[in-house]
A and B are shown apart, each in its own frame.
Chain A
């Protein structure tokens, strides 16, 4: 069955350049694995696609890399690394206030958050995890916090190909 999936993927997924386009992978996943690939409702789906694709194109290796990062057996440091990249919206190498606010907005799935709550939350997070007080989380600070989380390894998983 996995072979079937792979071949199917190859056929569906490739345009003439042998690359999947950004939109086609979402389409493909919904089509081939009906509801199993969880990107369709993930609030960070565009970030995931951005982090794992090259030039918004997915080669087979990119899909493979994505699957390996989200698999159960991937080691925590790898998962944390990619989580950091996903949460780093403006890609400046740090999770700063802007990133945090965008994360909150996406987690709550609404745009009419009160400004107070947003700033409150971000300041709390920064207060906890920002060790050097520069108002942004560097990777090591992020890792420091996430390595202690009991739920991180459980929640940062996606089932691909239904297995």
Chain B
């Protein structure tokens, strides 16, 4: 529903929508706002009808065409006086009476506004004349000419078509050209700066014309084929439009985000858009993993309890269903399809002979592949919009002046903040301009900055060591039997607390540095990034230690397992007639599956991170907001304005949190396929929760920054994190042996052996040979070298191009300077005092140009009038118009201004001639 209005507001869309309306349905809706909307709603219906009666369609406009323009006032009268043209209207009955009563007055008002509208149109046409591209102007002019031509010929053309006579080649060609022109007009209608009413009128006219003459061009068989093709094209356009609308409707949370956008400006909304994008990416990953790994395993794999790796060991059995155990992802959850260890190393499963280990490996790889691709693609598409990045520094003040107001802002608080930020930015930029490098006490600032950096490095090291220490300690705890809740979750708690308290600490320290806020923000982001990254990597290192420990123990456990099984079966060896029941899988001793352990760590980290985020929002934002709001009545100072006040939405912190969370997901998803599912849930809930929290308990930012600039910055961070999370996973896959008794790759030397196995067993031998050849280092190394060479070459090409670009820019700059100095010399030459030459010059210039331009609107409106009634007017009148419309666009070319004295005499005759004609311009 929202999509539809949305689309409907765009001019191009509405033109398309109207394309289905036949001429007879298009009652001119001037002065009657209702009919347009109704036309919109019933357009589909009307379109159907029109398609069913092509003969009518063809004849009707032909009759109407010649006198259409003159018939308009009459139609308007009809439309005003009575609800016209028989389309079903809901409010018709109640309106009818009123309208009949007001019929006269309405007409009066229409006439009254007509004058005003003409004035406005004069204004509109002024701009239109100086419309951006010259080409457009030219086409406009041509079109005017053609209209006049058409006026002369249209009656004859219409009659000839209706009588079925064959047209001469010349006329055919001309009509074809006209039709093409009209089509062009329809296509470019969207970008025309006209009032909507005029757009609609022009559009209808053009469509009518095209519809009328297009069919006439083909003859006989071609005609029918042509009609069919047109019909299909129309249907296709309609289908595309519907599909677009459908797609727009399918974008989730559009309303929520727009709501936030209008309250907080575009920067806060950019976080939510990023969150939504992330949700989409995770949904795809979730589909991949669930569709190709988890669901096949659940449907076709061996059921729970059939083999040791799918069974809870005897020792854990009685506690396996306790909530506290499940909460730690132990017990039944540990031995489920959510984790790596549950999967069997059978080559194929089920009647489909689905190669699960292979699928598992490929999905793990493609998760990274897809993520890389999508991140890079979105970065590239972000980049495309800002090609002229280098030149933007030429226009800092203009940009500040004209684009600093965010028109989306609809909240008065945000507006106040915006005013404040604009004020500071104006002042800042002026100060920057005046004294770009003014340092007062260089030594003190330097000392403070070094001190601050030292403190922050201390903090980072401390937090790294703390995490390492805690992870080590948790390995101790995991060997002990009954540990408390805190001891079990120490790692997660410490990491979350660090993530919560370090950023504010950094901010406090950064106050020492006395940086410009913009630079300060960058430092702050960099430091938080370093903190998160350091924490993550210490965590990984500690985890890696643990993994190596487990791997070294594996050999002994393997022996024990073998021994137990051997013993069990051999002890009953003497009674061979009754084969002993196999050992219950729960009793088989087994190794500590390190892959599952890693997966569980990541799972716990993700969940605790989510909980900490939510609790922070609840306590830090919501409760604070409640406290400030309600205790303000009975407190000694103003809480809202004073110390606690409301929380701001921390965009950069939230985005970084999201990015690192995603990094953990990427790292963990290979060892815990269920992790992505959890993450999808997390993103879903945080979308709703954070939307609510922002709207209910946050205030707009004081330091408003633009969203568009930082967009690619976040994407770059995401790419970096993706790369960094790819490293440990690749390391474990390539260089650690998988556990011997759990997971899809058990029994293999390395995980990637699964590919080799598949190639050898399932593919024909020659393919295997090709693969072996491709994997040969002798081929890979040259390929890598070639890639390096290509990168080097492209890099040098881009460098030389950018150099050329810079030189061109310099050239333009120099030309501008020369032109300016030339002008100012000219200005000095005017009889003025040499004292305030600049001011005098500027004033003189303004006066001159004002005089020069004052006549423009007037003359423009005159020309428009003439153009409008051109077809009806004599050819001599139109001849006088054309040079005028030619003259004006030329006159506004930069640097060439009409001398006021010259222009005036040209103006007056037109005014006098057109003053006599009281024709109304068609909009």
User: Is the A/B pair a real complex?
Assistant: yes
A132-B199 in contact given A149-B399, A150-B709 (Cβ < 8 Å): no
In the complex, how many angstroms separate the beta carbon of B714 from the nearest chain A beta carbon? 16
Q: Answer whether residue A128 sits at the interface, using C-beta atoms and an 8 A cutoff.
A: yes
Verify A140–B130 contact, CB threshold 8 A: yes
List the A residue with the shortest CB-CB distance to B35.
A60
Verify B410–A121 contact, CB threshold 8 A: no
In the complex, how many angstroms separate the beta carbon of A147 from the nearest chain B beta carbon? 8
Verify B5–A37 contact, CB threshold 8 A: no
Verify A149–B403 contact, CB threshold 8 A: yes
A-contact 0/1 string along B639-673, CB 8 Å cutoff: 00000000000000000000000000000000000
> Which of the residues B397, B405, B411 comes within 8 Å of A128, measured between beta carbons?
B397
In the complex, how many angstroms separate the beta carbon of B673 from the nearest chain A beta carbon? 38
Verify B395–A128 contact, CB threshold 8 A: yes
Verify A62–B195 contact, CB threshold 8 A: yes
Verify A128–B398 contact, CB threshold 8 A: yes
List the A residue with the shortest CB-CB distance to B434.
A120
Q: Answer whether residue B31 sits at the interface, using C-beta atoms and an 8 A cutoff.
A: yes
List the B residue with the shortest CB-CB distance to A127.
B397
List the A residue with the shortest CB-CB distance to B415.
A41
Verify A42–B407 contact, CB threshold 8 A: yes
Verify B262–A159 contact, CB threshold 8 A: yes
Which of B102-110, B144-152, B868-876, B914-922 contacts its partner? Answer: B102-110
Q: Give bound CA distance, A68 to B198, whole Å.
A: 14
Q: Give bound CA distance, A160 to B707, whole Å.
A: 21
Verify B407–A107 contact, CB threshold 8 A: no
Q: Answer whether residue A61 sits at the interface, using C-beta atoms and an 8 A cutoff.
A: yes
> Which of the residues B8, B14, B423 comes within 8 Å of A108, measured between beta carbons?
B423
A-contact 0/1 string along B5-16, CB 8 Å cutoff: 110111111100
Q: Answer whether residue B72 sits at the interface, using C-beta atoms and an 8 A cutoff.
A: no
Verify A38–B410 contact, CB threshold 8 A: yes
List the A residue with the shortest CB-CB distance to B812.
A131
A97-B846 in contact given A18-B33, A59-B197, A68-B14 (Cβ < 8 Å): yes
Verify A158–B196 contact, CB threshold 8 A: no
Verify A159–B408 contact, CB threshold 8 A: yes
> Which of the residues A73, A109, A160 comes within 8 Å of B419, measured between beta carbons?
A109
In the complex, how many angstroms separate the beta carbon of B99 from the nearest chain A beta carbon? 9
Verify A59–B391 contact, CB threshold 8 A: no
Which of B116-124, B331-339, B593-601, B676-684 contacts its partner? Answer: B116-124
Q: Answer whether residue B845 sits at the interface, using C-beta atoms and an 8 A cutoff.
A: yes
> Which of the residues A14, A52, A108 comes within 8 Å of B426, measured between beta carbons?
A108
Within 8 A of B (CB), among A43-79: 43-44, 52, 54-55, 57, 59-62, 64-65, 67-68, 70-71, 73-75, 77-78
In the complex, how many angstroms separate the beta carbon of B833 from the nearest chain A beta carbon? 18
In the complex, how many angstroms separate the beta carbon of B756 from the nearest chain A beta carbon? 50
Most buried by B among A2, A153, A157: A2
Within 8 A of B (CB), among A145-163: 145-163
Chain B residues lying within 8 Å of A152, measured Cβ to Cβ, are: 399, 402-403
Within 8 A of B (CB), among A1-45: 1-3, 5-7, 10, 13-14, 16-19, 35-38, 40-44
A68-B707 in contact given A40-B410, A41-B415, A121-B430 (Cβ < 8 Å): no
B-contact 0/1 string along A104-115, CB 8 Å cutoff: 100111100000
Which of B289-297, B369-377, B531-539, B818-826 contacts its partner? Answer: B818-826
In the complex, how many angstroms separate the beta carbon of B710 from the nearest chain A beta carbon? 11
A2-B1 in contact given A54-B195, A65-B199, A117-B426 (Cβ < 8 Å): yes
Chain A residues lying within 8 Å of B436, measured Cβ to Cβ, are: none
List the B residue with the shortest CB-CB distance to A95.
B402
Verify B410–A135 contact, CB threshold 8 A: no
List the A residue with the shortest CB-CB distance to B392.
A148
List the A residue with the shortest CB-CB distance to B136.
A77
A36-B262 in contact given A61-B33, A83-B402, A125-B397 (Cβ < 8 Å): yes
Q: Answer whether residue B849 sits at the interface, using C-beta atoms and an 8 A cutoff.
A: yes
Verify B411–A35 contact, CB threshold 8 A: yes
Verify B401–A41 contact, CB threshold 8 A: no
List the A residue with the shortest CB-CB distance to B846.
A135
Q: Answer whether residue B782 sits at the interface, using C-beta atoms and an 8 A cutoff.
A: no
Q: Give bound CA distance, A41 to B263, whole Å.
A: 11
A17-B105 in contact given A1-B2, A151-B706 (Cβ < 8 Å): yes
Verify B402–A149 contact, CB threshold 8 A: yes
Verify B258–A163 contact, CB threshold 8 A: yes
Verify A107–B127 contact, CB threshold 8 A: no
Q: Answer whether residue B897 sits at the interface, using C-beta atoms and an 8 A cutoff.
A: yes
Q: Give bound CA distance, A87 to B402, whole Å.
A: 8
List the A residue with the shortest CB-CB distance to B850.
A92
Verify A156–B403 contact, CB threshold 8 A: yes
In the complex, how many angstroms separate the beta carbon of A106 from the nearest chain B beta carbon? 8
Chain A residues lying within 8 Å of B98, measured Cβ to Cβ, are: 16
Verify A41–B707 contact, CB threshold 8 A: no
A139-B36 in contact given A41-B411, A103-B401 (Cβ < 8 Å): no
Q: Answer whether residue B252 sits at the interface, using C-beta atoms and an 8 A cutoff.
A: no
Chain B residues lying within 8 Å of A128, measured Cβ to Cβ, are: 394-398
Verify B12–A73 contact, CB threshold 8 A: yes
Chain B residues lying within 8 Å of A121, measured Cβ to Cβ, are: 397, 401, 426, 430
Chain A residues lying within 8 Å of B398, measured Cβ to Cβ, are: 125, 128-129, 145-146, 149
A3-B41 in contact given A10-B34, A14-B33, A117-B430 (Cβ < 8 Å): yes
Verify A55–B116 contact, CB threshold 8 A: yes
Chain B residues lying within 8 Å of A91, measured Cβ to Cβ, are: 123, 857
Chain B residues lying within 8 Å of A142, measured Cβ to Cβ, are: 402
Q: Give bound CA distance, A96 to B847, whole Å.
A: 11
Chain A residues lying within 8 Å of B389, measured Cβ to Cβ, are: 150
> Which of the residues B116, B259, B395, B409 comes within 8 Å of A129, measured between beta carbons?
B395
In the complex, how many angstroms separate the beta carbon of B767 from the nearest chain A beta carbon? 50
Verify A2–B2 contact, CB threshold 8 A: yes
Verify B820–A159 contact, CB threshold 8 A: no
Q: Give bound CA distance, A149 to B402, whole Å.
A: 10
Chain B residues lying within 8 Å of A136, measured Cβ to Cβ, are: 846, 849
Q: Give bound CA distance, A70 to B708, whole Å.
A: 18
In the complex, how many angstroms separate the beta carbon of B441 from the nearest chain A beta carbon? 27
Chain A residues lying within 8 Å of B883, measured Cβ to Cβ, are: none
Chain B residues lying within 8 Å of A65, measured Cβ to Cβ, are: 11, 195-197, 199
Verify B130–A36 contact, CB threshold 8 A: no
Q: Give bound CA distance, A107 to B422, whole Å.
A: 7
Chain A residues lying within 8 Å of B587, measured Cβ to Cβ, are: none
Q: Answer whether residue A94 sits at the interface, using C-beta atoms and an 8 A cutoff.
A: yes
Q: Give bound CA distance, A54 to B115, whole Å.
A: 10
Chain A residues lying within 8 Å of B895, measured Cβ to Cβ, are: 131-132
**12 pairs across A/B with beta carbons < 8 Å?**
A1-B1, A92-B850, A108-B426, A117-B426, A124-B430, A128-B398, A138-B892, A138-B894, A155-B405, A156-B407, A161-B2, A161-B6
The 7 closest A-B pairs by CB, nearest first: A60-B33, A65-B196, A163-B2, A2-B5, A38-B410, A55-B116, A67-B9
Chain A residues within 8 Å of B, Cβ to Cβ: 1-3, 5-7, 10, 13-14, 16-19, 35-38, 40-44, 52, 54-55, 57, 59-62, 64-65, 67-68, 70-71, 73-75, 77-78, 80-85, 87, 91-94, 96-97, 100, 103-104, 107-110, 117, 120-121, 124-125, 127-129, 131-136, 138-143, 145-163
